[in-house]
Amino acid sequence: MAFLDGSVVNVALPVVQRELAMSAGLAAWIVEAYALFLSSLVLVGGALGDRYGRKRVYVTGVALFTLASLVCAAAGSAHLLVAARALQGAGAALLVPGSLSLITAAYPAHERGRAIGIWSMFTAVTGAAGPVAGGYVVAHASWRWIFLFNAPIAAVVVALAYRGVSETRDEEAPPHMDWIGATLAAAGLGAVVYALIGDGATTGARGEALLLAAGAAVLVGFVVFESRAKAPMVPLSLFRSRVFAGTNVLTLLLYGALGAALYFLPFNLIQVQGYGPTAAGAALLPFVIAISALSPVTGYLASRIGTRRLLVVGPAVAATGFALIALPGRDGSYWTTYFPGIATAGIGMGITVAPLTSAVMGSVESHRAGVASGVNNAVARAASLLAIAGLGLVLRARFDGVLDRQLGELRLPVAIAERVAAERTKLAGADLSGLDPAMFQSVRAAFDDAYIAGFRALAFTCALLAAAGALVGLALPRR
């Protein structure tokens, strides 16, 4: 539920944006609000489970997540939907670490690594399958069903938890929760993301620059506080391990690239290329199949040959995939345009996911494995959160430059120019209805070309991030 809902709205976003008349920046918050609260509270959720009972906190998270899902389904405005998604993220922050800690407590040490590996594989598969499922639902029913489906699943999960899961807790858990650290993380990340997503309409360019600086300062304060706290949310001592530090940097780079690519690609497919929601979701199936097929194989290989070579090859292959995704223009068959890049990126991630989890879990002492996994999970969510905002800035800058040039060549009448200017914040989702057919075709082509240019810049940046991840893998110890 948690990982599916992290990406299931991606293909539905163009439809939601049109139905609720949202700007591109506000539409982004439907994804970012969820990721913000999940990434900043997931470690607190794990600590709450250790202290008050893992099953109790897990079930509470499922209930909160489901309640928020129902509010999402009923939301009549963009702002209520964003608020409900934030509440969903808070619920996910309770149930995600709860699920992992329950698995850790249920299995003996010699079976625990395999169980956690299976858990990690399914989180990757469900996250990648989200756009596919979302596309199918939007094509055959309202986007609101994306959230309503969580209710019956949650009912089954809660019943199974009460019937078959034993309550466990950490009797040595610290008596105090790190609420200050959680608040600093959420505030810092939120300020940075708001500054990057904003288009200047609310705070102006100067205000956004100040907000970005303030967010960065708060995140620095978070690191300083965590280094001095008695029971820190993020034990910085973990990063003394070269492998743990390196794998988390690799996670930040690779999952940032992946999050941005999976967020913006459906807009390209639906709003520019003319794919329907089902076709756009199906276009990502090669990615899902590659991860599902390769993760068990590379997990086995990691135990035989070590993780380092796989953590070099995987990100390098993913970088090639992102570069291939950047190449197509406005026309062409799916099989010769987007399929090669999507399949190659999936192969790269399939090579990487299981060895990355193994490297993280094996880089610390066994009694700190849960905390290490939680930190890595939080880094992956934060990477996607920041990349969607930051690389969206790259896309918008290129989009604006190309659009200004093409509209200048059209020499639009003042009234039409003002109408077009009012719609440009929606990017490729601009509503140009009402223009005469000839003018519509010219302006629509200008918007499409501008979005393709912006997406190309973003995808090449994703390729560079993934390639940097391969270099980090190369710097890891040989054994």
Q: Could you tell me which residues come within 8 angstroms of residue 79 by beta carbon, excluding any fewer than 6 positions away? A: none
Residue of 172 and 90 predicted with greater confidence: 90
Quick one: pLDDT at residue 369?
66
Task: Give pTM, 2 decimals.
Answer: 0.88
Name the DSSP class of 433: T
Residue 406: enclosing H or E segment and its boundaries? helix 369-410
Lookup result for tokens 């999960």: 157
> How would CATH label the architecture of 2-167+231-399+453-475?
Up-down Bundle (1.20)
Spatial distance between the Cα atoms of 437 and 403, rounded to a whole number of angstroms: 19
Residue 267 scores a pLDDT above 70: yes
Domain boundaries, the chain: 2-167+231-399+453-475
| Pure H helices in 198-307 | 204-228, 242-267, 277-283, 285-305
How far is the CA of 120 from the CAs of 220, 298, 335, 355, in angstroms?
A: 30, 13, 30, 10
CA angle 152, 154, 158 (to 5 degrees): 125
Spatial distance between the Cα atoms of 22 and 78, rounded to a whole number of angstroms: 7
Averaged pLDDT, 176-195: 88
Lookup result for tokens 């009923």: 74
Spatial distance between the Cα atoms of 175 and 32, rounded to a whole number of angstroms: 32
Q: Write the pLDDT tens digit of every residue in 310-339.
A: 999 999 999 999 999 999 998 889 999 999
User: Which amino acid is present at 372?
Assistant: A
Q: CA dihedral defined by 362, 382, 123, 32, rounded to 10 degrees?
A: 180
pLDDT band at 419; cut points 50, 70, 90? confident
Contact present, 386 and 407 (Cβ < 8 Å):
no
Q: For the stretch 27-44, what's the b/e string if a residue is b when 16 or more beta carbons lie within 10 angstroms of its beta carbon?
A: bbbbbbbbbbbbbbbbbb
Residue 86 scores a pLDDT above 80: yes
